[in-house]
Amino acid sequence: MEPGRAGSLRGHLPMQAKSYIPYLQVAPLAFVFGAFLVIPILTIVVVSFWDYDFARIIPDFVLTNYRELLGSPVTLRTYLNTLRYAAIVWVATLAIGFTVAYFLAFHVRSDTWQTACFLICTVPFLTSNIIRMISWIPFLGRNGLLNSALVGAGIVDHPLEFLLFSDFAVVLAFVHLYTLFMIVPIFNSMMRIDRSLIEAAYDGGANGLQVLTNVIIPLCKPGIAIGSIFVVTLVMGDFVTVRFMSGGQSASVGLMMANAISLLQYPAAAANAVILLIVVLLMVGAMMRIVDIRKEL
């Protein structure tokens, strides 16, 4: 907020009231976050230290949940697997998202077409996430459309098994589901770039690649960072996509939690949730260090 404007508003009020105004302004949001975000998270943290047996959850302060979680090789393997998905999906969505956004922002000249193309990108997202994901299954299956076409065209003799219920299928579904989250913020950043900067760069003798790497990409960094945060947090927390597309053959952190919850082992699931939250916050923190989103906006 600009100090001048705030000052003029404060000028009309008695001195002692002035200091309350910012607090009143943040109060509604603070209340919503407090009630629906902070309290639930604190509850999860508290429960993660509770004990449980086959039928009950016992209020207590034990470290067993964390000890079992952190001491188990399966945790490390699952986290590595989940991080691997996140990394591959991040690279793929960034490459596709940047290209699509670049095309929309710099190659589509008319505003009407720009809006129209942008809408076309978003239309599939009017259907539910799960339906868009599940519709890959009959397409990729052993007797699915793709395999029938490949075998029919004589490209392969046997149906390709790796297409479905594999890491390939998981990554494909993730990229399909989440690329839009990359396109929108990057497109937004690109639209804010002053076109005269690009002209100036060309006038100064830069070629296309130099303009891209020295002007456009640096100015898109906030968009890239926001998109990356979306994609990484979504992939890290996902369990539905991994379960359906890997045919239940791959694990993700979310899936581990779902399994624990299914047997009412809430404290174990809560401990896992706390660790996941810390890991994701660290990742987001690292991204924020590379790009100062607030400064760039």
Contact residues toward other proteins (CB under 8 A) are: 52, 54-56, 68, 72-74, 77-78, 81, 137-138, 141-144, 161, 164-165, 243-244, 246-251, 255-256, 258-265, 268
Please compute Rg for the chain using Cα positions.
Answer: 24
> Nearest approach, Cβ of 237 to other proteins (angstroms)?
17
> Nearest approach, Cβ of 262 to other proteins (angstroms)?
4
Residue type, 237: G
Which residue lies nearer to other proteins by CB, 216 or 260? 260
Which residue lies nearer to other proteins by CB, 9 or 42? 42
Convert 154-174 to b/e letters by CB count within 10 Å (16 or more is b): eeeeebbeebbbbbebbbbbb
CA–CA separation, 265 and 68 (whole Å): 13
CA–CA separation, 229 and 71 (whole Å): 29
> Nearest approach, Cβ of 264 to other proteins (angstroms)?
6
State the CB neighbour count (10 A cutoff) for residue 232.
21
Which residues neighbour 243 within 8 Å (Cβ) at sequence distance 6 or greater?
Answer: 252, 255, 258
Which residue lies nearer to other proteins by CB, 98 or 244? 244
> Nearest approach, Cβ of 104 to other proteins (angstroms)?
37
Residue 112 is inside which H or E element, if any? helix 111-122
Which residue lies nearer to other proteins by CB, 55 or 119? 55
Both structure tokens of 157: 């003799």
> Nearest approach, Cβ of 82 to other proteins (angstroms)?
10
CA–CA separation, 41 and 45 (whole Å): 6
Both structure tokens of 209: 């690649």
> Nearest approach, Cβ of 186 to other proteins (angstroms)?
34
Which residue lies nearer to other proteins by CB, 114 or 259? 259
CA–CA separation, 62 and 65 (whole Å): 7
Which residue lies nearer to other proteins by CB, 19 or 143? 143
> Nearest approach, Cβ of 171 to other proteins (angstroms)?
17
Which residue lies nearer to other proteins by CB, 92 or 269? 269
CA–CA separation, 278 and 116 (whole Å): 40
> Which residue, 184, 180, 175, is CA-closest to 88?
175
Which residue lies nearer to other proteins by CB, 22 or 248? 248
Contact assessment for residue 246 and residue 194, using Cβ atoms and an 8 Å cutoff = no
> Nearest approach, Cβ of 50 to other proteins (angstroms)?
13
State the CB neighbour count (10 A cutoff) for residue 247.
13
